[in-house]
């Protein structure tokens, strides 16, 4: 037979674990919202600059143009991934934290990969690699 205070101690540990999961989820949701806004602003500034300048990807050699458009598509996917991470959902804070953390990691990889592909395409076309 367990001691009289054992059930209460288990409840306290469970409540502390739930509170930690809720705090972790709130922190990840804040990070997701900030990264979503940052990604949208980056894409908007770059696209706005390209549109205003009158430049278009059709001036690139076909193989480099395809690489450029792949980078652009990955940038749009990145915005979608950050939006999915920032979207609220689920009652289970632990599962939501795992989902948000995974989406943030994927979004950050895309945040690095998409401009790298676009810049590689521009440099490759310029130097005729």
Answer whether residue 1 is part of any domain: no
pLDDT (0 to 100) of residue 13: 52
Does residue 12 lie in a domain region?
yes
How many domains are contained in the chain? 1
88 within a domain of the structure (yes/no): yes
Q: What is the token pair recorded at 95?
A: 């599962």
Taken in order 87, 88, 94, 95, the sign of the CA dihedral is negative
pLDDT in tens, the chain (129 residues): 566 655 555 555 567 778 999 999 999 999 999 999 999 999 999 999 989 999 988 899 999 999 999 999 999 999 999 999 999 888 899 999 999 999 999 999 999 999 999 999 999 999 998
pLDDT at 68: 96
| pLDDT given for residue 110 in this prediction | 98
User: What is the DSSP track for 101-116?
Assistant: HHHHHHHHHHHHHHHH
pLDDT for 63 equals 95
Asked if residue 99 belongs to a domain, the reply is yes
Which residue range is the domain that position 55 belongs to?
6-126
């Amino acid at each position: 037979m367990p001691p009289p205070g054992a059930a209460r101690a288990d409840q306290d540990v469970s409540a502390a674990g739930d509170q930690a999961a809720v705090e972790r989820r709130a922190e990840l949701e804040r990070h997701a919202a900030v990264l979503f806004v940052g990604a949208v602003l980056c894409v908007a500034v770059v696209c706005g600059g390209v549109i205003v300048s009158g430049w278009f990807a059709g001036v690139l050699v076909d193989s480099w143009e395809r690489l450029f458009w792949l980078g652009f598509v990955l940038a749009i996917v990145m915005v979608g991934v950050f939006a999915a991470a920032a979207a609220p959902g689920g009652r289970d804070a632990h599962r939501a934290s795992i989902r948000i953390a995974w989406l943030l990691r994927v979004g950050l990889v895309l945040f690095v990969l998409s401009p790298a592909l676009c810049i590689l395409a521009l440099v490759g076309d310029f130097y005729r690699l």
